[in-house]
Each structure stands twice: as structure tokens, then as C-alpha cells.
Amino acid sequence: MARNTSSEYDAVIRVCRELFIKKTNDYGTAWRILRISSITDQIFIKAQRIRTLEEKRISKVGEDITSEYIGIVNYCVIAMMQLELADDSRTELPAAEVETYFDKMVNETKELMFAKNHDYGEAWRDMRISSLTDLILMKILRVKQIEDNSGQTLASEGVRANYQDMLNYSVFALIKLG
């Protein structure tokens, strides 16, 4: 069976986007109050929970690994939106504007994924889902270090690129979980 990364990616994003928009309608953009470091911590909590579930295989809360990866995708989008809207003091954004920003962040991240896939030959397809989880955790630790260094890097990509990588790793995991 032929694989189509673009359509698989889009299918995963549709699920994530649908949930994101529903939550925006329920809660508004309360996430606008979060600092980037708080969003990083939320992603860390979700990735750590995935790792715990992968190791213990028992959930006492009822949410599964799939829902946690969806949460990571959406928190990565929130982080990128917060970076984009850093000079915008509004805490409440119209739903249509949020949808536009969501699509922009995801489209830019998907373009990055295709550039990297070209160079790496879709190596993610042969990886274990647990390795994708570990890569997300590593990226979170990198982001935390960059945040602790007031956003300054000497030889590394910034936080936005790390959020994009975490989003893409989560999409890969969701594709593999199928």
C-alpha cells in the first residue's frame, strides 16, 4: 500500500484542528495569558505522561496516548501563535483569526517537515513511537535551556523551530498510531 505523507499529515491535522477550534469556542483564547515557558511546561507534562503510559501501559485518568499527542500538536501551535503575537496585548482573539493563525503555523511547519523529509528520507517511518516521544522530551529540554538563557543561542535554532519539530514528531506518532 502506497503511503502519502501529505494526506496522512493533513488527516491528523484535521483532527487536531477540529478539537482546537471546538475548545476555542468553549474557552475563548484563555491561553493568551500563558507565557511561553508555561506552554513549554504543558508540552512537557503531556510528553512525560506519554512516556509513563508507554512504560506502564496503564492509564488511571482515561486519556490515551493519542489524545496526549493531539494535545502536544495543539500546544505547539499555541506556542508558535504566542511567539507570532508577542507584541499583541489582546487576550481574546476572534475565532476566525485563531483559525487563520492555526492554519498558518501548521502550514509553515508542514513545509519544514517536507524539507527535512527530503533530506532524511522519511526515516521517521522506521522509528519506534517511543523514540518520537523521547525526541519530543529532548526538544522540550532544549527549549527550557534556551528559555533559561533568555532566548539567546550561540549555534542552535531558536525555540520556534523546536516547537515545529515537536509538532511534526507528534504528527508522525499519530500517523503511526493510525
pLDDT in tens, 61-114: 666 899 999 999 999 999 999 999 999 999 999 999 999 999 999 999 999 898
Whether pLDDT at 1 is above 50: no
Read off the pLDDT of each residue in 120-141 and give the average, rounded to a whole number: 93
Q: Percent of the chain having pLDDT more than 70?
A: 96
Torsion of CA 128, 132, 135, 141, to 10 degrees: -130
Instruction: Identify the pLDDT of residue 155.
Output: 79
C-alpha dihedral sign at 82, 84, 87, 89: negative
Instruction: Identify the pLDDT of residue 16.
Output: 98
Read off the pLDDT of each residue in 146-157 and give the average, rounded to a whole number: 83
Cα 154 to its chain centre, rounded Å, is 24
Instruction: Identify the pLDDT of residue 59.
Output: 61
Whether pLDDT at 119 is above 80: no
pLDDT in tens, 35-75: 999 999 999 999 999 999 999 876 666 668 999 999 999 99
Q: Per-residue confidence at 128, pLDDT binned at 50, 70, 90? A: very high
| Range with the poorest average pLDDT among 138-142, 151-155, 162-166 | 151-155
The pLDDT mean for the chain works out to: 92
Q: Which residues contact 111 (CB under 8 A, 6 or more apart)?
A: none
Whether pLDDT at 3 is above 80: no
Q: Per-residue confidence at 11, pLDDT binned at 50, 70, 90? A: very high
CB atoms within 10 A of CB 111: 11
Whether pLDDT at 131 is above 90: yes
